[in-house]
């Protein structure tokens, strides 16, 4: 079938919104008509070339839509079901999925190759039939997508997909990193570095977990103001000076440092943001690295002496260590109960045709948390 999609032919060059050909779903796959997709900061890492991906490619990995058709053998969803798309495929049968770590799935690990699980692609250029690469096996910057059955999670028929699309990546990554990967006791202190979509979600998780002090750190005043709305108790305007930022965080935590810190930015300056987080935690504290760092960063400035002598823990946390099949419906229940706020995370809605302007806004960084593309 023909559909419109935003194709990236080269990093840093505007994406081309054009008509492409989409194959029908094969066995174990699902055709989804997209309702909404967020423009996530991680898309920017690939758009900017900080993290390479094969081109041409249709980016987009934070989406939700309605099932239109299913391939042979699909049993968990049917035509008409509302679904959230998980950005990291988890097959459900490899040793990692079975061991309770679907974010380490062997099939998911192959998703950067730009293909579906069987090694082939579903989208082609109409001009010459050549393949366009998949992204995260879901490529949501398009009117339709064909995804593996295990990448779609059925949600309630009443669910507002233009909000729930955030559960496919950003919200789950941030909220899960705080509620799955660490164990905040009521009264603990938490530093959240970066107040974009992932950061605000982490802040919500820290607030729900009973943290006494939630210190938001960002380079933009506007993001810090928003962070307070989501539960941050203190704000530190970072000037990229590790020493100065850490001094402020320590002053807020009675000179001790916080129990936990989370690096929620990634990108080309992750060495700086991670250093702030490492030095901001108290002795015995834990730093979670959540942001996707640029491949240009080969090492982090963390001195081994203090790590051992102060018994500090640094851990990588991918996709909020989420069990998406269970966590995403659970988050929807929290949303319905008014315990998490997705509505205010969406700062702007737009059409697919406006995608390049949307990316420019993400690059500027200070105007928007999440822009959501809506499809009619
Ligand atoms: Cu994302």
* Residues 155 and 179 placed together within one structural domain of the fold: no
CA distance 151 to 31: 11
Taking each helix axis from N to C terminus, what angle separates 242-252 and 270-280, rounded to the nearest 10 degrees?
Answer: 30
Neighbouring residues of 182: CB distance < 8 A, sequence distance ≥ 6: 260, 286, 288
Cα–Cα distance measured from residue 218 to residue 227, given in angstroms and rounded to the nearest whole number: 9
Examine the domain organization and report whether 103 and 200 are in the same domain: no
- Between CA 47 and CA 33 the distance in angstroms is 24
Q: Is residue 310 domain-shared with residue 365, that is, in the same domain?
A: no
Strands 144-148, 152-155: pairing kind: unpaired
Q: Please, which residues bridge with residue 236 across strands?
A: 217
CA gap 115, 113 in Å, rounded: 6
The predicted pLDDT at position 312 comes to 98
The tokens describing 298, both together, are: 């080969």
- Has residue 6 been placed in a domain? yes
Q: Do the domain assignments include residue 329?
A: no
Q: How far is the CA of 194 from the centre of ligand 1 (A)?
A: 14
Residue 114 lies in a domain: yes
Do 101 and 119 form a contact (C-beta atoms < 8 A)? no
Task: Quote the ligand 1 centre to 254 CA distance (angstroms).
Answer: 35
Pairing of strands 123-125, 16-22: antiparallel
pLDDT at position 240 is 84
pTM equals 0.95
Residue found by looking up tokens 């935590």 in the block: 253
For residue 265, report the distance from its CA to the centre of ligand 1, in Å. Answer: 11
SS3 255: coil
Mean pLDDT by 10 residues, the chain (376 residues): 97 96 98 97 88 94 98 98 96 94 92 92 97 97 98 96 97 98 97 96 98 97 96 96 97 97 94 97 98 92 96 97 95 97 95 96 86 95
Cα 44 to middle of ligand 1, angstroms: 9
Catalytically active residues are 40, 42, 45, 61, 169
Rounded to the nearest angstrom, the distance between the alpha carbon of 60 and the centre of ligand 1 is 8
| Beta-bridge mates of residue 349 | 372
Q: Measured in angstroms, how far is the CA atom of residue 292 from the centroid of ligand 1?
A: 9
- At which residue do the structure tokens 């009264």 appear? 187
Beta-bridge partner residues of 313: 286
Instruction: Quote the domain boundaries for residue 239.
Output: 172-319
Q: Which residues surround ligand 1, an ion (CB under 5 A)?
A: 40, 42, 169
Residues 39 and 130 both lie in one domain: yes
Which residues sit opposite 17 in a β-bridge?
Answer: 6
Using alpha carbons, select from 231, 294, 236 the residue that is nearest to residue 265.
Answer: 294
Cα separation, 272 vs 28, whole angstroms: 43
- Do 183 and 155 share a domain, yes or no? no
162 and 184 inside one domain? no
Please name the residue that has the structure tokens 């909020």: 320
Q: Is residue 54 part of a domain?
A: yes
**Residue 202 C-alpha to ligand 1 middle, in angstroms?**
14
CATH number reported for the structural domain that contains residue 17 in this entry: 3.90.180.10
Do the domain assignments include residue 289? yes
Taking the CA atoms of 24, 122, 36 and 206 in sequence, report the sign of the dihedral they define.
Answer: positive
Residue 98 lies in a domain: yes
Tens digit of each residue's pLDDT (9 = 90 or more) over 190-247: 999 999 999 999 999 999 999 999 999 999 999 999 999 999 999 999 998 999 999 9
> What letter does residue 55 receive in the DSSP assignment?
S
pLDDT of residue 305: 96
Inside any domain, residue 86? yes
User: pLDDT tens-digit profile of 101-142?
Assistant: 999 999 999 888 899 999 999 999 999 999 999 999 999 999
The answer to whether residues 157 and 242 belong to one domain is no
Report yes or no on 300 lying in a domain: yes
Distance of CA 127 to the CA centre of its chain: 33
- CATH number of the domain residue 303 falls in: 3.40.50.720
CB under 8 A, 24+ apart: contacts of 101-106: 101/321, 102/322, 102/323, 102/324, 102/325, 103/318, 103/319, 103/320, 103/321, 103/322, 104/318
Number of domains composing the chain: 2
What distance in angstroms lies between residue 42's CA and the mean position of ligand 1's atoms? Answer: 5
Query: Does residue 53 sit in the same domain as residue 16?
Result: yes
Q: Indicate whether 9 and 88 sit together in one domain.
A: yes
* Domain co-membership, 307 together with 248: yes
Distance 253 CA to ligand 1 centre (A): 31
In a shared domain, residues 163 and 119: yes
Centre of ligand 1 from the C-alpha of residue 301, in Å: 25
Same domain flag for 185 and 81 = no
């Amino acid at each position: 079938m023909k559909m419109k999609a935003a194709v990236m032919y080269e990093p840093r060059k505007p994406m081309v919104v054009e008509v492409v050909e989409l194959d029908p779903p094969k066995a174990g796959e699902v055709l989804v008509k997209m309702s909404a997709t967020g423009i996530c900061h991680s898309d920017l890492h690939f758009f900017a070339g900080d993290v390479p991906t094969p081109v041409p490619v249709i980016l987009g990995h934070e989406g939700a839509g309605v099932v239109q058709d299913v391939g042979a053998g699909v049993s968990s969803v049917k035509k008409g079901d509302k679904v959230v798309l998980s950005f990291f495929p988890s097959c459900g049968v490899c040793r990692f999925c079975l061991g309770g770590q679907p974010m380490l799935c062997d099939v998911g690990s192959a998703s950067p190759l730009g293909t579906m699980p069987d090694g082939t692609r579903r989208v082609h250029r109409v001009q010459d039939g050549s393949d366009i690469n998949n992204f995260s096996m879901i490529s949501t910057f398009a009117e339709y997508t064909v995804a593996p059955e295990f990448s779609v999670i059925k949600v309630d028929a009443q669910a507002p997909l233009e909000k729930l699309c955030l559960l496919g990546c950003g919200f789950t990554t941030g909220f899960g990193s705080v509620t799955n990967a660490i164990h905040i006791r009521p009264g603990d202190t938490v530093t959240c570095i970066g107040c974009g979509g992932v950061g605000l979600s982490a802040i919500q998780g820290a607030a729900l977990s009973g943290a006494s002090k939630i210190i938001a750190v960002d380079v933009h005043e506007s993001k810090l103001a928003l962070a307070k709305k989501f539960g941050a108790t203190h704000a530190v305007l970072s000037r990229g000076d590790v020493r100065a930022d850490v001094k402020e965080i320590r002053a807020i935590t009675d000179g001790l440092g916080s129990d936990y810190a989370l690096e929620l930015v990634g990108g080309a300056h992750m060495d700086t943001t991670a250093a702030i987080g490492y030095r901001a935690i108290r002795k015995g504290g834990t730093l979670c690295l959540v942001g996707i760092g640029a491949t240009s960063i080969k090492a982090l400035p963390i001195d081994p002496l203090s790590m051992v002598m102060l018994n500090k823990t640094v851990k990588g946390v991918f996709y909020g260590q989420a069990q998406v099949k269970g966590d995403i419906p659970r988050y929807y229940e929290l949303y319905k109960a008014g315990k998490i706020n997705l509505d205010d995370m969406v700062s702007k809605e737009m059409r697919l045709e406006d995608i390049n302007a949307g990316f420019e806004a993400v690059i500027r960084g200070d105007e928007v948390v999440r822009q959501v593309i809506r499809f009619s």
